[in-house]
Structure 1
Amino acid sequence: MTNFGYRRRWKWALLVSATIELAASGTAWAQAPADADMRADITVTARKVPEPLLKAPLAVTSISGDSIVAAGLQTITDLTRMAPNVDISGGIAGQLQGQISIRGISTLVRNIGLETGVGIYVDDVYVGRPENFVQHLLDVDRVEIVRGPQGTEYGKNTIAGVVNVQTKQPDADPGASIRLDAGNYDYRRGEAVLGTRLNERLSVRGAVAYARQDGFYKHLSGGKDAGSTDLLTWRLSAKYAPTDQLSFIARWEGLRDRGTPAFFQADALAGYPADFPSREPLHINNNRPNRLHRDSQGISMRTEWASDAITLTAITAYRDSSYHASLDDDQEQVDFVSADNFSDDSHFFSQELRLAGGTGKLRYLLGAYYFDQMVRTDRGLGLGADTGVPGEPMLTTKGSVKTESGALFGRLDYELTDRLSLSAGLRYTREKKRAHFVQDDASGTGIFTYLGFPNLTFDGRSTDDDLSPSATISYEVVPDANVYARFSRGFKSAAYNVDLASSLGGLTASPEKATSYEVGLKMLTLDRRMRLNLAAFHTDYDRLQVSQVLGSGLALTNAGRAQVEGVEGELSLQLTSRLQLEGNAAILDAHYKRFDNCGVPASVIPSVGSPSTDCTGNDLVLAPHFTGYGAVSYEVPVRIGTIFVRADVDHRSTVYFEPTNSDAFKAGPRTLVNLRFGLRRGQWDIAAWVQNLTDRIYKTYADDRSGLGVYRTAAYGPPRTYGVSLSATF
């Protein structure tokens, strides 16, 4: 731990030194003409009120819709490389349970009793369960990724950070656009957007996208390749403004997914040699189907009344989502598992009210939030004939979790001087949960109890109250250079393990809290051609909820404490009118400070010597020590239009997928390279692109399913893909 302490002191000293030197030297070059680069006018709403990114006193990355198109981003998963200290794994079931990490804080959310620590919002509406996360970035105005606990302003208290997708307003960009893509693995995608103003008070906008692609997990016996895409996404919105002060925006969006996911492949299998053929990355040989039907839709109404002094906002939303999936856990021509069927169905209603305004040097934000969610799960796990157990016995798990949450929140911002500002916020949350869970071996053979899955019935109730404060001080050192210091706290209520369980002892976890201290620098320089954001942070993470796949069921517990520290930076530089550079980098030290009841995956027990161990000092799950991203864009005017080229490089260091930090369940460092080039002529664009240029093979997840004869699973990211895109606006 001595080396950890040295690294932490070095990182803080580096940031403070850089802040002082850059701010001091900025006196000479931070001045800029009034008509300088318009990037100085980037507006964000990370604190629920519009403000310049330069003056927003927290770590937030704003990615414009134009940048999303230029980088060829398709889903929220693709966005993670654009912001420092943000990552997403494949999770156990890929898009169903993708595990998002911000600053080393993540949660394995494969069961309905556990909520993610990262809040995903679309147009300020919390989207709920992780099966709603992966959808097309369709008709997006911008995406804001806010890092650190966001307990004060956001509707659902979030402990790690927020990804807020803002789609285009119904009255924005009247007209139409289309986009067509084609690539290898028989990739096809089409997108269409139409917006129009029916009269001076009423505007409507619609967007739809459909993508399909063959699977890139090759089936060795001629069966259906896995990892395929069959995804339809749509958005429809309307805005009615009866007066200049009052407006109503209604939205309906949803998705329909019929892809064939790979979920994972077997990496170590009982009775098979270490080098069995389907162990080769991106290969499967299942004799039972992998299947997914996923549907989700949500509606919302945003009402806003604004005067010169105040703005009153009300957001009412409802969403339902469901999925039905099946997989062959052994992914081989063997029947260790005859069936693994799982489905979840969720519904939620939310209501948010906000009042924002100000007078003189004082600004305020007041709000109330209500959230009501019901989720049900139904799973069946059957043993196959190759286990030697006759009759293919079935273990069923059925459960439900109801969550009701209410909150009051507020923030005051006060300008002490023209340069110095203070901000203080507070949120009170009360969250009630009620869980019911039944696990049953209907066959009565007792084999599942022997394998570690006993019959059990569980009912749980919890009521958690929390006060989450925040405080910020910001100072304008010179024009276009600001420094800030921020304190914030996030909270997550009690959790339940409504999933395959090994005992009644691992079904509950207490609430968790994260307290963060952050200092940062934001500046524009070189005649506003360069934007630089720096931040350093220290987070104390108490009673973090840990969900583990241990080979014989799942375990849910609380680690005692964890500590997260790091430094991160973002840079955007317009070298010339044709050449632009951008990138980010982060150093992270996220480890358990106390975790002496850490479960050990069954396949690792022989080397550890016990089913539990002390994980104190180990890295948190999905917490790379270093991440880096860089992109270069260049445009060349020619007679027939403009040629554009973009290249980006994304690097992640080693990450672990479970707390013991076993070498069996980790992913080594990886670097991905993407290229895009094309021609823009008037309203038309044509581009060629390649993702993962070097065809890098890298793991996105691994776990232990020894109770089912699978000692280790492995999921991989996509191989090299390439294609062309054609788009036009009218």
Structure 2
Amino acid sequence: MTRFRTQFFAALIGSTAFAALAASPAMAQDMSDDAVATADADAPIADQVAAEGDEIVVTARRREESLIDVPISMSVVTGDSLIRTGAVDITALQDKTPNLTLQIARGSNSTLIGFSRGVGQQDPLWGFEPGVALYLDDVYVARPQGAVLDIFDVDRIEVLRGPQGTLYGRNTIGGAVKYVTRRLGSDYHASARVSYGSYNQLDLIGQVTVPVGDSLSIGAAVARYKRDGYGKNLNTGAEQYDKDVLAARVSAEFTPSDAVFVRIAADRTLDKSNPRHGTRLAGNGGLPSYEPTASVYDTRAGIGDTNRVLAQGISGTGEFDLGGPLTLKTITAYRDGHTDTLIDFDNTPAPTLDIPAEYDDRQFTQEIQLLYQGDRMQGVFGLYYLDARASGAFDTVVGLLNLTILTSGTVKTKSYAAFGDFSFDVTDQLKLSAGLRYTKDDKTGTVYRQNFTGLRSPYFGNATAVPGLLRTDYTNSRSFDKLTPRVSLSYEPRTDLNFYASYGQGFKSGGFDMRGDAILTPTTVNGYEPETIDSWELGMKGAFLDRTLFINTAGFFSKYKDQQVTIQSPAQGGGIASFVDNAGKADIYGFELETRMVPSRHFQASLVLGYTHADYKEFFTYVGGGTTPVDVSNARVFQNTPKFTGNISATWSEDVAGGTLSFTPAVSLRSDYNLFEIPTPALDQDGYYLVQASLNWTSGDGRYRLGVTGRNLTDERYRVGGYNFPGALYGNSIIGYYGPPRTVTATVEVRY
């Protein structure tokens, strides 16, 4: 860890000093005063135009642009909008944006699972990389642990759909989620927010910005989230689905002139919520200890209730006007995290199928961008470097056999990339954009897997466990590289109307299966191959009827190749066989529609609709212990990909008691979806809808807000995850995890 911290500080000092020297001739030059204000809105489309002259500014192409001008299907949701509608973390985005799945992973409170347009990765084990990338202020968050970011100190969240490989790299094959925190500015301001709600929910959030002189500002934000569980562990009495999170961010911004901006920021999140053990959905294979639970939020797990997730990081960002059309930007960051968790697969007091686990990760990243803003050409050229290490260990405890299989390992990754993306105004109405990225990943994987007689291995505290069969013990290295292009053509027949067509390619490098069993699947030592996607898109963004109607719509078609699919199944003689398939070929097509109508200052309404059709054309895998791959595409489906997603909402506002009273009801829907590639009727979720509503009063000067929000008002029960290990040896382990029940929350907020 010391080496990584040394790298961070050395690179931060070096890159900032280099950029400052390069910028020195232009220190006295003023930057443009034509920056456009960022709007605020309740609607998912987030107001391309919130009021006359105000536009949403996004950084999807690594430079500030109006949302309408960006030839990418994307949604923007403001932080204030999420807060006013009662959203606590970023998983609420899936109710507001089309064709998106963001869920809390099985067994955890803060591990993120993301899918967009059918592409993602649900396996949070170290070594596997997400297909929908998460960025915190332009810093890539490589691991899903600790990635369920809470909604505080956030300006906006940008959701980019489709492959973003040119500007964002190898792991944006399905899209990217950009969490953008607030810049401090040069004025003093502070806020405090207190929320109390169902299940003794108590949220305390405070933020402050203090200017020090004319060029330095210091800011801090702290959030404490505490809530009882939606259910109980009927075996231990512990809370189930509770929340216990402490999060903080601190930052300092230095602006000695209009040509220089430097920001240092640090964040830390500690999650001590109990593990989510799920609930049983099927019989117990003859085990006498099993009893069904009355609530889907209850469990009878016996493994314990200790869970701890720590995620933290520090970053330095420098922006330097080099004079004329050039700006230099440097982003240096270091992040690390540690997780101790437990998963009880059988949900019984006995250790029939239990998993104690721990994860460690750390990453150092350095990115340098040279931005060009000319009269007819705009763009960015950049270099990127990542040095990351992800490791962990877990026991697979099969109690009926008095057997434990210890699995541990490490994946080291060094990634290098060079990229460029430029737009050229062919005419005042016609614009051509093109980009290219070269990515090279060097990976070294170490996997160790061994049988022990006894319940738990020595690694997890059982010193009397007897070593047995060594199943896997190897270290291997592989390199993967790829050129990923993107090109788009935009036609703007008038202001606030943009038609575009684009093509882009995404790439996620191969790797090593940390669960790989070299006895059951000897080829696991060779690792698995990269996956790629080619995506075509047609879209339109525009404002109509004197800016009272806004429409964003896009249609897409993608060809998905060599998708990485993790398959786990019970193995003869005990234990779980795991292997990663590259699933052949698939076609994905669909559309997104986001509309917003603002006929008056007292009323607005929005509609969001997404459709995704994902179909495997080839899916070669081993069946029934065979040694020749068989095409099973007709029996496989895409996971976490409902065909339809939608949301409809409206807001009525009236002037009341010296302020504004607004009421916002909303309904979101998701059609049927499968939790795994193999249809599992006991786990797969039927379509459902969620009803939300919020009532907010804001004082005329904006200093005070009183709010009440209700979420899942019809108290719908819907599964967001599960496990399927049938058979008496494993306790017929078919368990499900559920989204939150009905909750009501009251909030008081004060701003200074």
- Common fold by TM > 0.5: yes
Q: Structure 1 CA distance, aligned partners of 2:593 and 2:470? A: 49
Residue of structure 2 aligned with 1:584, choices 608, 613, 617 = 608
Match in the other structure for 1:346: 361
Q: Structure 2 CA distance, aligned partners of 1:577 and 1:406? A: 50
Indicate how the Cα distance of structure 1 residues 343 and 416 shifts in structure 2: closer, same or farther if over 3 A, else same: same
Indicate how the Cα distance of structure 1 residues 618 and 397 shifts in structure 2: closer, same or farther if over 3 A, else same: closer
1:716 equivalenced with 2:738 (yes/no): yes
Q: Structure 1 CA distance, aligned partners of 2:275 and 2:665? A: 29
Q: State the one-letter code of the partner of 2:731.
A: G
Q: Structure 1 CA distance, aligned partners of 2:398 and 2:53? A: 59
Consecutive unaligned residues of structure 2, counting only runs of 5 or more, are 1-48, 458-467, 571-575
Measure how far apart 1:155 and its partner are: 5.0
Residue of structure 1 aligned with 2:481, choices 462, 465, 473 = 465
Q: State the one-letter code of the partner of 2:504.
A: S
| Contact 1:286 1:332 survives alignment (8 Å) | yes
Aligned to 1:137, what secondary structure does the other structure show?
Answer: coil
1:285 equivalenced with 2:285 (yes/no): no
Q: Structure 2 CA distance, aligned partners of 1:641 and 1:477? A: 40
Q: State the one-letter code of the partner of 1:660.
A: I
Aligned to 2:633, what secondary structure does the other structure show?
Answer: coil
Q: Deviations over 1:572-596 (max 9, x none)?
A: 1112211111231011101211113
- Given the two structures, how large is their TM-score scaled by the length of structure 2? 0.86
Indicate how the Cα distance of structure 1 residues 443 and 586 shifts in structure 2: closer, same or farther if over 3 A, else same: same
Match in the other structure for 2:558: 539
Measure how far apart 1:443 and its partner are: 2.8
Q: Deviations over 1:287-344 (max 9, x none)?
A: 331321110110000011013411100000000101001233222233314x521011
Match in the other structure for 1:563: 587
| Contact 1:548 1:599 survives alignment (8 Å) | no
Residue of structure 2 aligned with 1:691, choices 706, 711, 734 = 711
Indicate how the Cα distance of structure 1 residues 173 and 107 shifts in structure 2: closer, same or farther if over 3 A, else same: farther
Q: State the one-letter code of the partner of 2:314.
A: I
Measure how far apart 1:490 and its partner are: 0.7
Match in the other structure for 1:660: 678
Q: Structure 1 CA distance, aligned partners of 2:121 and 2:136? A: 21
1:425 equivalenced with 2:425 (yes/no): no
Aligned to 1:671, what secondary structure does the other structure show?
Answer: strand
Match in the other structure for 2:182: 168
Q: State the one-letter code of the partner of 2:721.
A: Y
1:237 equivalenced with 2:257 (yes/no): no
1:139 equivalenced with 2:139 (yes/no): no
Residue of structure 2 aligned with 1:526, choices 538, 545, 557 = 545
Q: State the one-letter code of the partner of 1:479.
A: T
Deviates more, 1:670-679 or 1:461-470: 670-679
Q: Structure 2 CA distance, aligned partners of 1:720 and 1:342? A: 31
Aligned to 1:696, what secondary structure does the other structure show?
Answer: coil
Match in the other structure for 1:113: 127
Q: How does 1:296-307 map to 2 (within 5 A)?
A: 296-306=311-321, 307=323
| Contact 2:405 2:450 survives alignment (8 Å) | yes
Measure how far apart 1:272 and its partner are: 5.2
Q: Structure 2 CA distance, aligned partners of 1:209 and 1:172? A: 23
Q: Structure 2 CA distance, aligned partners of 1:709 and 1:554? A: 19
Q: How does 1:267-666 map to 2 (within 5 A)?
A: 267-268=281-282, 269-271=284-286, 276-278=291-293, 280-306=295-321, 307-337=323-353, 339-384=354-399, 387=400, 389=401, 392-443=402-453, 455-499=471-515, 501=517, 503-506=521-524, 508-551=527-570, 552-597=576-621, 614-616=632-634, 618-666=636-684
Measure how far apart 1:647 and its partner are: 1.1
Q: Structure 2 CA distance, aligned partners of 1:445 and 1:216? A: 30
Indicate how the Cα distance of structure 1 residues 611 and 99 shifts in structure 2: closer, same or farther if over 3 A, else same: farther
Measure how far apart 1:640 and its partner are: 4.7
Consecutive unaligned residues of structure 1, counting only runs of 5 or more, are 1-34
Aligned to 1:347, what secondary structure does the other structure show?
Answer: strand
- Given the two structures, how large is their TM-score scaled by the length of structure 1? 0.89
Q: Structure 2 CA distance, aligned partners of 1:632 and 1:598? A: 51
Indicate how the Cα distance of structure 1 residues 692 and 444 shifts in structure 2: closer, same or farther if over 3 A, else same: closer
Q: How does 1:248-259 map to 2 (within 5 A)?
A: 248-259=262-273
Q: Structure 1 CA distance, aligned partners of 2:127 and 2:214? A: 47
Q: Structure 2 CA distance, aligned partners of 1:701 and 1:611? A: 28
- Runs (4 or more) in structure 1 with deviation over 6 Å come to 444-447, 610-613
Measure how far apart 1:362 and its partner are: 2.0
Measure how far apart 1:38 and its partner are: 4.0
Q: Structure 2 CA distance, aligned partners of 1:674 and 1:134? A: 21
| Contact 1:665 1:702 survives alignment (8 Å) | yes
Aligned to 1:68, what secondary structure does the other structure show?
Answer: helix
Indicate how the Cα distance of structure 1 residues 262 and 416 shifts in structure 2: closer, same or farther if over 3 A, else same: same
Deviates more, 1:92-101 or 1:268-277: 268-277
Q: State the one-letter code of the partner of 2:392.
A: T
Residue of structure 1 aligned with 2:234, choices 220, 238, 254 = 220
| Contact 1:453 1:553 survives alignment (8 Å) | no
Deviates more, 1:181-190 or 1:353-362: 353-362
Q: Structure 1 CA distance, aligned partners of 2:596 and 2:514? A: 45
Q: Structure 2 CA distance, aligned partners of 1:287 and 1:723? A: 32
How large is the Cα RMSD of the aligned pairs?
A: 2.6
Aligned to 2:357, what secondary structure does the other structure show?
Answer: strand
Indicate how the Cα distance of structure 1 residues 329 and 405 shifts in structure 2: closer, same or farther if over 3 A, else same: same
Q: Deviations over 1:346-375 (max 9, x none)?
A: 010000000011434222310000001011
Q: Deviations over 1:132-170 (max 9, x none)?
A: 311212111111000000011125541010000110012
Q: Deviations over 1:41-60 (max 9, x none)?
A: 11111010111111111111
Aligned to 2:409, what secondary structure does the other structure show?
Answer: strand
| Contact 1:540 1:562 survives alignment (8 Å) | yes
Q: Structure 2 CA distance, aligned partners of 1:595 and 1:71? A: 42
Indicate how the Cα distance of structure 1 residues 504 and 36 shifts in structure 2: closer, same or farther if over 3 A, else same: closer
Measure how far apart 1:617 and its partner are: 6.9
Indicate how the Cα distance of structure 1 residues 369 and 596 shifts in structure 2: closer, same or farther if over 3 A, else same: same
Indicate how the Cα distance of structure 1 residues 52 and 650 shifts in structure 2: closer, same or farther if over 3 A, else same: same
| Contact 1:153 1:409 survives alignment (8 Å) | yes
Q: State the one-letter code of the partner of 1:709.
A: G
